[in-house]
Amino acid sequence: MKKVRLDKIQGNSEVKKYLEKRIENGSFSHAVVITGKSGFGKKTLTNDIISAMACESENAPCGTCDRCKKISDNECVDIYIIKKPENRTTIPIDAIRDIYSSISYKPNDLDFKVYILEDGDKIPPRTQNALLKLLEEPPQGVYFFILCEDEKKLLPTIRSRCEVFNLNPFTHNELTELLKDMGFTENLDDIVSLSDGSLGTAVRIASGDNGILARRAVTDKIIELLLDRTGSEFGFISYQLENIKSSQDYFEVCRAVLSALRDIITVKEDAECALSYFYDTEKAEEYAQIYPCTTLLSMCDIFFDALQNENVNTRLSLMLTEYSSRLWKTKYNGDNKCQR
């Protein structure tokens, strides 16, 4: 029997062990959903799985056989990648029709064929319904991988026909050690705190961002203003408009604040989890005394929604104002609940 080890991504050991066993005993599902934020390793894990399934060596994936090399070099003709066109906000239904056209072709390089839908949460309901029949009655030797950040945007009928695997964020310590292994040595605490548990984001920041310390200071201030009961909505909005100047600033600050809010909830609920944003628990414990978990969770939802927005550059000021208004309404409701 083939021995499988999926080691191209770090962490998520339980998910990887389960997948390894399914590949080894030949019972891998014909359709899987892999969820996780950008930079969590969804594409890397998918390619590792396909390589392990295709590999001709006893220890798979070996990385040296013809099949492994073709997959690694993106030259395998039996792997079809479907993603959102750059000029569209969703995957068009024509992309699914193309699958119908090609699915009956016999594989060439491998013993099976693979369809990878990279932007699964960018598939509108009508297009998902077109995909549904393929998932219900797939031809033998055809596998579907649906990658997405938010599985809730997939129809229940789609999710029910797939195995769903959620990739977890890296802890602060895990990311720090991974960055050290990759040769990064400066400002690691600040880089990790701004990465929201994502290795891809951490590497991108560490590789070319000279404003790490400044962005950390901005994020700290935004969290302070957000959780200050005596602060004003106008002051909160003004500070963001002065300091968030680009879509990169917007997304990285939103991710970092979301990470900080999760840390505060973790501390508030006495959960035994490592923190991602705060270096230690003292500051998180201080913030945890201010608002109830229901309010903090509502704030998390608002920042998560903010991260889903497209075309940030053209609507930056409007979007900052819109989500700030939602946050202040949430704060007001939270204060009223505390008073009652």
Residues 30 and 100 in one domain: yes
Residues 81 and 25 in one domain: yes
Give the pLDDT band (50/70/90) at residue 280: confident
Per-residue pLDDT of 257-276, as tens digits, reads 998 999 999 998 876 667 77
Residues 160 and 176 in one domain: no
Residues 27 and 126 in one domain: yes
Q: Which of 166, 184, 208 is the last residue of a domain?
A: 166
- Per-residue CA distances from 97 to 76, 77, 132, 200, 291 (Å): 21, 18, 12, 32, 49
Q: Which of 116, 131, 166 is the last residue of a domain?
A: 166
What's the CATH code of the domain at 155? 3.40.50.300
Q: Which of 142, 166, 190 is the last residue of a domain?
A: 166
Handedness of CA 33, 37, 43, 45 (dihedral sign): negative
- Per the structure, the count of domains in the chain is 2
Residues 132 and 231 in one domain: no
Residue 163 pLDDT exceeds 90: yes
Residues 176 and 325 in one domain: yes
Residues 146 and 205 in one domain: no
Residue 99 pLDDT exceeds 60: yes
Structural domain that includes position 80: 3-166
Weakest mean pLDDT among 150-154, 185-189, 313-317:
313-317
Q: Name residues whose C-beta falls within 8 Å of residue 268's C-beta, 6 or more positions apart in sequence.
A: 288, 293, 296
**pLDDT of amino acid 58:** 93
Residues 284 and 321 in one domain: yes
Residues 127 and 177 in one domain: no
Residues 138 and 196 in one domain: no
Residues 148 and 189 in one domain: no
Token digits of residue 155: 């129809």
Helix (H, G, I), strand (E, B) or coil at 263: helix
Residues of the chain with pLDDT > 90: what percent?
52
Report field, pTM of the whole predicted structure over 0.75: no
- Per-residue CA distances from 111 to 6, 56, 105, 142 (Å): 20, 11, 12, 9
User: For the chain, what percentages of helix, strand and coil (3-state, to nearest 5) are there?
Assistant: 55, 10, 35
Residues 109 and 209 in one domain: no
Residue 308 pLDDT exceeds 70: yes
Residue 54 pLDDT exceeds 60: yes
**Sequence letter at residue 303:** F
Q: Are 2 and 55 in contact (CB under 8 A)?
A: yes
